[in-house]
Amino acid sequence: MNGTDGNTAAKRLRTWWASPPRTGLQRLIIPYEFRHLRVFGTMRVAGGSVAALAGFICLAYGVYGWAAFFLAIGAANFAGGCWYLSIHTSAPGQP
């Protein structure tokens, strides 16, 4: 009488996060981003380039703390974007 109907919020979140099916480290990617890997990969590479440019400008003015921050953010975004694009190109059935 007090049993659950099996349609709880946690179960819905688990099924939402599991679609589309992914393996390994690809589960770290948000499902919406995983469905649009090329777009988000390109955006991350572009954002990483802008952050790296800001880091180089900070280096030119001698603000080394901010330069290190922007260069680290730029490197992380650039690496993530390249990872997204490599997953997109290696996926079977992708145009």
The yes-or-no verdict on residue 23 having pLDDT over 80 is: no
pLDDT for the residue 28: 77
pLDDT digits (tens, 9 = 90+) for 49-60: 999 999 999 999
For residue 71, pLDDT beyond 70: yes
Which pLDDT value is given to residue 29? 80
10 within domain boundaries:
no
* DSSP for residue 6: S
Whether residue 84 is contained in a domain is answered as yes
Rounded CA separation 5/28 (Å): 29
pLDDT of residue 35: 84
CA 37 – CA 86 distance, rounded (Å): 9
- The answer to the question of residue 29 being in a domain is no
Tell me the C-alpha distance between 74 and 58, whole Å: 13
Give residue 51's domain range: 39-95
Does any domain span residue 92? yes
Which pTM was predicted?
A: 0.73
> What are 18's two structure tokens?
């599991």
Total count of domains within the chain = 1
